[in-house]
Amino acid sequence: MIVDLQDFQRSRYWREGLNPQEVEAALRYAEERFYTLTNRHRYGYWFEPKELEIFLDGTGSQLLRSPYPIVEVIEVKVITAFGTFDITARVRARGHFLYRLDGAFPEGVANIQLLAAFGDPAYVQQEIPEDAREAVRRLAYNKLRFYRIAGEELDERRPPTESPPPPTLTGDREVDGIIRSYTIESPLFYLDIRGPIETPESEDAQNDSA
């Protein structure tokens, strides 16, 4: 979790009398909202890598696109009418893409089985940023206080001549700023596959098969 119960208990938001189970539920809700509002859940850019099994469509080429960035390949199998074949040792990953060294991924629908850890490569070797953790703590605290997590407070009062403030994502403008700083757009617009397709490993594989 981005923020666990012990971390919240050490923070300025902890109050005597809070129910630990309710706090944990609020923290899970806050983490889900954070990832949803930043688009990170949609594109798989989690701070803590998640291990998932997904099925991809074979392309008939050496490249295969994953919907989420691949942090670590655990297992890759090709599913055919004759059985399942493990090709993990002949596959390399870079970002959203798998590259097969010894040939093409055969064309097919959901015929490539990928077990991998997915997440944001920029944070794999780093701790979760403190401002992101603070945003989750504050969202959870607001949830525990029964505040609305999106939009303005319903009971706001202001002079009729004063225009309302711009709408917010969470009702907390500091949290809004943190969320905007971690929001991502579709990363596939920035595809870069420059460089040689032939690698020393692929040449060795071809020589071995000759």
Q: Residue 156 carries which side chain, given as an amino acid letter? A: E
145, two tokens: 């206080």
Whether the Cβ atoms of residue 53 and residue 114 lie closer than 8 Å to each other = yes
Condensed to tens digits (0 to 9), the pLDDT of residues 42-87 reads: 999 999 999 999 999 999 999 999 999 999 999 999 999 999 999 9
pTM above 0.95, yes or no: no
Q: Which amino acid is present at 72?
A: E
108 has a pLDDT exceeding 80: yes
The radius of gyration of the chain from alpha carbons, rounded to an integer in Å, stands at 23
Range 83-93 average pLDDT: 96
For the chain, percent of residues with pLDDT exceeding 70: 80
3-state secondary structure of 100: strand
Considering only 7-16, 74-83, 93-102, 144-153, which range has the smallest mean pLDDT? 144-153
Residue-level pLDDT at 195? 43
Residues 6+ apart with CB under 8 A from 149: 33, 139, 142, 143, 170, 171
Calculate mean pLDDT across residues 145-152.
58
Locate tokens 């990832």: which residue?
35
Q: Which pLDDT does position 116 carry in this prediction?
A: 98
Pairwise CA distance, residues 190 & 56, whole Å: 21
pLDDT of residue 151: 45
Per-residue pLDDT band for 192 (boundaries 50, 70, 90) equals very low
pLDDT score of 99: 95
CA 101, 103, 97, 89 torsion-angle sign: negative
Per-residue confidence at 185, pLDDT binned at 50, 70, 90? confident
